[in-house]
A and B are shown apart, each in its own frame.
Chain A
Protein backbone atom coordinates (compact mmCIF):
# COMPACT_ATOMS: atom_id res chain seq x y z
CA UNK A 1 0.00 0.00 0.00
CA UNK A 2 1.76 3.09 -1.24
CA UNK A 3 2.01 6.02 1.10
CA UNK A 4 1.29 9.64 0.34
CA UNK A 5 3.10 10.55 -2.85
CA UNK A 6 4.27 14.06 -3.55
CA UNK A 7 5.94 15.39 -6.65
CA UNK A 8 8.14 16.96 -7.54
CA UNK A 9 10.40 16.43 -4.56
CA UNK A 10 12.43 19.45 -5.54
CA UNK A 11 11.35 22.39 -7.65
CA UNK A 12 13.32 25.46 -8.63
CA UNK A 13 11.53 28.50 -9.99
CA UNK A 14 12.50 32.05 -10.82
CA UNK A 15 10.58 34.95 -9.35
CA UNK A 16 7.32 35.48 -11.20
CA UNK A 17 6.94 31.90 -12.41
CA UNK A 18 4.29 29.44 -11.32
CA UNK A 19 4.81 26.42 -9.08
CA UNK A 20 2.53 23.40 -9.10
CA UNK A 21 2.87 20.80 -6.39
CA UNK A 22 1.02 17.51 -6.59
CA UNK A 23 -0.13 15.12 -3.91
CA UNK A 24 -1.66 11.69 -4.26
CA UNK A 25 -3.14 10.56 -0.94
CA UNK A 26 -2.92 7.07 0.43
CA UNK A 27 -5.30 4.61 -1.16
CA UNK A 28 -8.74 4.98 0.33
CA UNK A 29 -8.07 8.39 1.83
CA UNK A 30 -10.33 11.22 0.78
CA UNK A 31 -9.06 13.97 3.09
CA UNK A 32 -5.98 15.99 2.15
CA UNK A 33 -4.13 18.63 4.13
CA UNK A 34 -1.32 20.94 2.97
CA UNK A 35 1.26 22.34 5.37
CA UNK A 36 4.22 24.63 4.81
CA UNK A 37 7.51 24.40 6.66
CA UNK A 38 9.82 27.36 6.49
CA UNK A 39 13.49 26.98 7.42
CA UNK A 40 13.92 26.69 11.18
CA UNK A 41 10.18 27.03 11.70
CA UNK A 42 7.41 24.63 12.49
CA UNK A 43 4.65 23.35 10.31
CA UNK A 44 1.98 25.84 9.36
CA UNK A 45 -1.43 24.67 8.22
CA UNK A 46 -2.48 25.95 4.82
CA UNK A 47 -5.57 24.18 3.54
CA UNK A 48 -7.80 21.15 4.13
CA UNK A 49 -9.64 19.56 1.23
CA UNK A 50 -11.95 16.70 0.56
CA UNK A 51 -12.77 15.47 -2.91
CA UNK A 52 -13.98 18.47 -4.93
CA UNK A 53 -14.38 20.62 -1.80
CA UNK A 54 -12.24 23.05 0.13
CA UNK A 55 -13.11 22.55 3.78
CA UNK A 56 -10.76 25.01 5.44
CA UNK A 57 -8.40 27.42 3.70
CA UNK A 58 -7.75 29.67 6.66
CA UNK A 59 -3.99 29.20 6.37
CA UNK A 60 -3.71 30.07 2.71
CA UNK A 61 -2.32 33.45 1.72
CA UNK A 62 -5.08 35.53 0.18
CA UNK A 63 -3.27 36.03 -3.10
CA UNK A 64 -1.32 33.82 -5.49
CA UNK A 65 -2.05 30.56 -3.68
CA UNK A 66 -4.78 28.09 -4.60
CA UNK A 67 -5.51 24.43 -4.01
CA UNK A 68 -7.79 21.82 -5.46
CA UNK A 69 -8.59 18.15 -5.01
CA UNK A 70 -10.56 17.00 -8.04
CA UNK A 71 -12.75 13.96 -8.25
CA UNK A 72 -10.07 12.21 -10.24
CA UNK A 73 -6.36 12.74 -9.87
CA UNK A 74 -4.07 14.25 -7.28
CA UNK A 75 -4.49 17.30 -5.14
CA UNK A 76 -2.70 20.34 -6.54
CA UNK A 77 -1.22 23.28 -4.64
CA UNK A 78 -0.61 26.11 -7.05
CA UNK A 79 1.51 29.17 -6.38
CA UNK A 80 1.38 31.91 -8.99
CA UNK A 81 4.04 34.57 -9.48
CA UNK A 82 6.36 33.06 -6.90
CA UNK A 83 8.53 35.26 -4.71
CA UNK A 84 11.62 34.36 -2.71
CA UNK A 85 9.56 34.19 0.48
CA UNK A 86 7.67 31.22 -0.98
CA UNK A 87 10.81 29.10 -0.71
CA UNK A 88 9.88 26.35 1.72
CA UNK A 89 9.04 22.69 2.08
CA UNK A 90 5.41 21.94 1.34
CA UNK A 91 3.97 18.84 2.91
CA UNK A 92 0.82 17.01 2.02
CA UNK A 93 -0.93 14.73 4.48
CA UNK A 94 -3.94 12.50 4.08
CA UNK A 95 -6.41 10.68 6.27
CA UNK A 96 -9.33 8.34 5.83
CA UNK A 97 -11.95 10.43 7.56
CA UNK A 98 -10.30 13.55 8.85
CA UNK A 99 -8.86 13.75 12.31
CA UNK A 100 -12.18 12.71 13.85
CA UNK A 101 -11.66 9.10 12.79
CA UNK A 102 -8.33 7.57 13.72
CA UNK A 103 -6.85 10.96 14.39
CA UNK A 104 -3.43 10.78 12.83
CA UNK A 105 -2.40 12.15 9.48
CA UNK A 106 -0.07 10.38 7.06
CA UNK A 107 2.52 12.65 5.50
CA UNK A 108 4.31 12.65 2.19
CA UNK A 109 8.02 13.30 1.82
CA UNK A 110 7.41 16.91 0.89
CA UNK A 111 8.10 19.16 -2.07
CA UNK A 112 10.95 21.60 -1.59
CA UNK A 113 10.46 24.80 -3.52
CA UNK A 114 13.37 27.11 -4.14
CA UNK A 115 12.71 30.50 -5.69
CA UNK A 116 15.71 32.16 -7.28
Chain B
Protein backbone atom coordinates (compact mmCIF):
# COMPACT_ATOMS: atom_id res chain seq x y z
CA UNK B 1 0.00 0.00 0.00
CA UNK B 2 1.14 3.52 -0.71
CA UNK B 3 1.80 5.68 2.33
CA UNK B 4 3.70 8.67 3.63
CA UNK B 5 4.98 9.37 7.11
CA UNK B 6 5.64 12.70 8.74
CA UNK B 7 7.66 11.89 11.85
CA UNK B 8 7.38 15.32 13.48
CA UNK B 9 4.14 16.67 14.86
CA UNK B 10 5.65 20.12 15.20
CA UNK B 11 8.72 21.97 13.99
CA UNK B 12 9.86 25.21 15.58
CA UNK B 13 12.26 27.56 13.86
CA UNK B 14 13.36 31.15 14.27
CA UNK B 15 12.55 33.63 11.55
CA UNK B 16 15.39 33.89 9.03
CA UNK B 17 16.70 30.40 9.76
CA UNK B 18 16.40 27.53 7.29
CA UNK B 19 13.57 25.10 7.84
CA UNK B 20 13.04 21.45 7.02
CA UNK B 21 9.81 19.48 7.32
CA UNK B 22 10.37 15.76 6.94
CA UNK B 23 8.45 13.21 4.90
CA UNK B 24 9.22 9.61 4.01
CA UNK B 25 7.25 7.48 1.61
CA UNK B 26 6.46 3.89 0.84
CA UNK B 27 5.22 3.14 -2.66
CA UNK B 28 5.15 0.49 -5.33
CA UNK B 29 6.73 1.79 -8.48
CA UNK B 30 7.61 5.39 -9.16
CA UNK B 31 6.21 7.84 -6.65
CA UNK B 32 4.13 10.93 -7.29
CA UNK B 33 4.76 13.09 -4.22
CA UNK B 34 3.17 16.34 -3.10
CA UNK B 35 3.35 19.00 -0.43
CA UNK B 36 0.34 21.04 0.66
CA UNK B 37 -0.02 23.81 3.23
CA UNK B 38 -3.06 24.57 5.38
CA UNK B 39 -3.52 27.91 7.12
CA UNK B 40 -5.95 28.12 10.07
CA UNK B 41 -9.57 27.52 9.10
CA UNK B 42 -8.66 27.27 5.44
CA UNK B 43 -8.45 24.57 2.81
CA UNK B 44 -5.25 22.98 1.59
CA UNK B 45 -3.09 24.82 -0.89
CA UNK B 46 -0.77 23.05 -3.30
CA UNK B 47 2.91 23.88 -2.82
CA UNK B 48 4.83 21.57 -5.11
CA UNK B 49 5.04 18.10 -6.57
CA UNK B 50 7.55 15.54 -7.76
CA UNK B 51 6.63 13.23 -10.62
CA UNK B 52 9.85 12.77 -12.52
CA UNK B 53 12.98 14.70 -13.45
CA UNK B 54 15.19 16.77 -11.18
CA UNK B 55 15.37 15.63 -7.60
CA UNK B 56 15.11 19.22 -6.36
CA UNK B 57 11.65 20.59 -6.93
CA UNK B 58 10.84 24.27 -6.52
CA UNK B 59 7.39 25.42 -5.50
CA UNK B 60 5.34 28.31 -4.22
CA UNK B 61 6.38 30.87 -1.59
CA UNK B 62 10.07 30.00 -1.87
CA UNK B 63 9.64 26.38 -0.78
CA UNK B 64 11.50 23.49 -2.35
CA UNK B 65 11.66 19.77 -1.76
CA UNK B 66 14.32 17.20 -2.37
CA UNK B 67 13.41 13.76 -3.64
CA UNK B 68 15.81 11.12 -2.33
CA UNK B 69 15.15 7.67 -3.71
CA UNK B 70 17.73 5.84 -1.62
CA UNK B 71 16.32 7.26 1.60
CA UNK B 72 12.70 7.23 0.34
CA UNK B 73 12.33 10.79 1.51
CA UNK B 74 10.79 13.99 0.19
CA UNK B 75 11.67 16.68 2.73
CA UNK B 76 10.28 20.19 2.39
CA UNK B 77 12.79 23.01 2.77
CA UNK B 78 13.10 26.74 2.75
CA UNK B 79 16.36 28.67 3.09
CA UNK B 80 14.93 31.46 5.25
CA UNK B 81 11.72 31.05 7.25
CA UNK B 82 9.10 33.75 7.65
CA UNK B 83 6.62 34.13 10.49
CA UNK B 84 3.90 33.94 7.84
CA UNK B 85 5.07 30.40 6.96
CA UNK B 86 3.56 29.19 10.24
CA UNK B 87 0.93 26.66 9.21
CA UNK B 88 0.14 22.96 8.95
CA UNK B 89 2.07 21.13 6.24
CA UNK B 90 0.97 17.89 4.64
CA UNK B 91 2.97 15.47 2.55
CA UNK B 92 0.98 13.27 0.16
CA UNK B 93 1.52 10.42 -2.27
CA UNK B 94 -0.60 9.38 -5.20
CA UNK B 95 -2.08 5.93 -4.87
CA UNK B 96 -1.47 4.46 -8.30
CA UNK B 97 -4.12 1.78 -7.86
CA UNK B 98 -6.99 4.05 -6.88
CA UNK B 99 -6.04 7.44 -8.31
CA UNK B 100 -6.35 9.37 -5.05
CA UNK B 101 -3.92 11.24 -2.81
CA UNK B 102 -2.98 9.74 0.52
CA UNK B 103 -1.93 12.31 3.08
CA UNK B 104 0.42 12.17 6.02
CA UNK B 105 -0.68 13.23 9.47
CA UNK B 106 0.68 16.73 9.03
CA UNK B 107 3.44 18.77 10.65
CA UNK B 108 2.73 22.04 12.35
CA UNK B 109 5.41 24.60 11.56
CA UNK B 110 5.84 27.43 14.01
CA UNK B 111 8.17 30.26 13.01
CA UNK B 112 9.11 32.58 15.87
CA UNK B 113 10.06 36.22 15.33
Contact = CB atoms under 8 A, between A and B. Distances in A.
Nearest to A35: B103
Interface residues of A, number: 27
A103 B49 contact: yes
B84 interface: no
Contacts of A44: 103
B6 to A, nearest CB: 8
Residue in B90, B99, B102 with the greatest tally of chain A CB atoms within 10 Å: B99
B113 interface: no
Contact of B43 (A42, A104, A109): A109
B60 to A, nearest CB: 11
B36 to A, nearest CB: 8
Interface residues of B, number: 22
B101 A99 contact: yes
Given A42-B104, A103-B32, A104-B34, A48 B99 contact: yes
Interface in A25-67: 33, 35, 41-45, 48, 55-56, 58
B98 to A, nearest CB: 5
A4 B46 CA distance: 13
B14 interface: no
Interface of B: 32, 34, 36, 41-46, 49, 51, 90, 94, 98-106
Interface of A: 4, 6, 33, 35, 41-45, 48, 55-56, 58, 91, 93, 98-100, 103-110, 112
B42 A33 contact: no
B45 A42 contact: no
B34 A103 contact: yes
Given A98-B99, A106-B46, 17 more contacts: A4-B43, A42-B104, A42-B105, A44-B103, A45-B101, A45-B103, A48-B98, A48-B99, A56-B98, A56-B100, A93-B101, A99-B94, A100-B99, A103-B51, A103-B94, A105-B101, A108-B43
A108 B41 CA distance: 11
